[in-house]
Amino acid sequence: MNKTIAVALTGASGMPYGLRLIECVLLSGARVQVLYSQAAQIVMKQELHLALPSRASDAQQWFCKRFETDASRLQVFGREEWFAPLASGSNPPDAMVVCPCTMGTLASIAAGLSADLIERAADVCIKEGRKLVLVPREAPFSTLHLENMLRLSRMGVVILPPNPGFYHHPETVQDLVDFVVARILDQIGVPQTLMTRWGA
């Protein structure tokens, strides 16, 4: 059975990581469930000049067109769509990635607030023992940020800041994006050929 991966986009800088991640998960044959915050729409417009629709149904068409797929492979859920599969422990995704992840979202997940579907889906992944990866884009980290990340790490959550390496001699921004996305894919068990393995 193909995996189902949830990808949540929030309002931190780093939308190229999130979109590339969705693309690569789809290319692997896995299904994708997309969630996004209102702030993510603003960042998407500012960073990539892309207008992500506000309505989930319109956004689903937008994503499907962009990635040349259909609703059997990619679903988009609204922020308060509490009947979405990933809102319940009876039907969680195989893994979830919040990319990019704001410090506010990270803090809410650490506190178990579940105030919207992104936070609830993350809470479900934690309680059901599914892989949860958070990709926080912030610099520098405050003591509060670090304490929240430590708290999540102790719960088994993977904290993966988008810190690209340079030993592969990147030539483009896309090379830097792919370095980070490859690390995320490795964490959630999705095959990738974006990066040559060390020592290979």
In sequence order, what are the residues at sequence separation of 6 or more whose Cβ sits closer than 8 angstroms to the Cβ of residue 121?
Answer: 6, 8, 35, 84, 86, 87, 92, 93, 96
Residue identified by tokens 């894919």 is 185
CATH 3.40.50.1950 fits 4-187, yes or no: yes
Global pTM exceeds 0.75: yes
Report residue 34 as tokens: 């997309």
DSSP line for 100-128: EE-HHHHHHHHHT---SHHHHHHHHHHHT
Number of Cβ within a 10 Å radius of residue 193: 12
Q: What is the pLDDT of residue 1?
A: 61
- Digits of tens for pLDDT over the chain (200 positions)? 689 999 999 999 999 999 999 999 999 999 999 999 999 999 999 999 999 999 999 999 999 999 999 999 999 999 999 999 999 999 999 999 999 999 999 999 999 999 999 999 999 999 999 999 999 999 999 999 999 999 999 999 999 999 999 999 999 999 999 999 999 999 999 999 998 888 87
| Cα–Cα distance, 137 to 192 (Å, whole number) | 23
